[in-house]
Amino acid sequence: MVQLKRMSRADIPAVAEIEKLSFADPWSEQTIADSFDNENSIWLAGYESDGTLTSYLGGVCVAGEAEIYRVACHPDKRRGGFAEGLVLLMEALEEVETIYLEVRASNAPARALYEKCWFEVCGERRAYYENPTEDAILMRWEPGEGQHRCES
């Protein structure tokens, strides 16, 4: 059974390992720790029943406006609904009113995930990403009809 909840600081090394397996430009353990220590940060994680971290979402929320910085799952756990669960959990947080994110234009699986979670395209940033250079698609989520919020 998987548990989705707010991440603890002790999970930062596991997040850094998944970063290395997931991104061409992984965040360092120090960068993750710095983000985690920000008073406005939101870090959520998925855990196996034995406590092993399998997935995470990192972002920030200020005055109701949130931004997702990172979402990743261990390669062995991808396509299992973990990322979707974490995005939906962030949408359900009481302090979150709107969420923004950037996604690589070529990342069709991530774009499909965000669309499934009611995100809409709201812009584009040319040559935003490096390694390789690529455009970013900007997406926004706001609560709407057919969506439900949970109290956390």
Taking residues 84-111, what's their average pLDDT?
94
Q: Where does residue 94 rank: exposed (0-12), middle (13-18), buried (19+ CB within 10 A)?
A: exposed
Give the integer Cα–Cα distance in Å for 1 and 8. 19
Give the integer Cα–Cα distance in Å for 130 and 75. 22
Give the integer Cα–Cα distance in Å for 23 and 103. 12
- Nearest residue to 101 (alpha-carbon basis) of 132, 128, 70: 70
Model confidence at 150: pLDDT above 50: no
Mean of pLDDT over the chain = 91
17 in catalytic set? no
Q: Would you state the pLDDT for residue 145?
A: 54
Which candidate in 47, 56, 114, 129 is catalytic?
114
129 in catalytic set? no
Taking residues 116-130, what's their average pLDDT?
93
- Nearest residue to 42 (alpha-carbon basis) of 65, 73, 19, 13: 65
Per-residue pLDDT of 13-72, as tens digits, reads 999 999 999 998 899 999 999 999 999 999 999 999 899 999 999 999 999 999 999 999
Which candidate in 19, 56, 91, 102 is catalytic?
102
* pLDDT bracket for residue 6 (50, 70, 90): very high
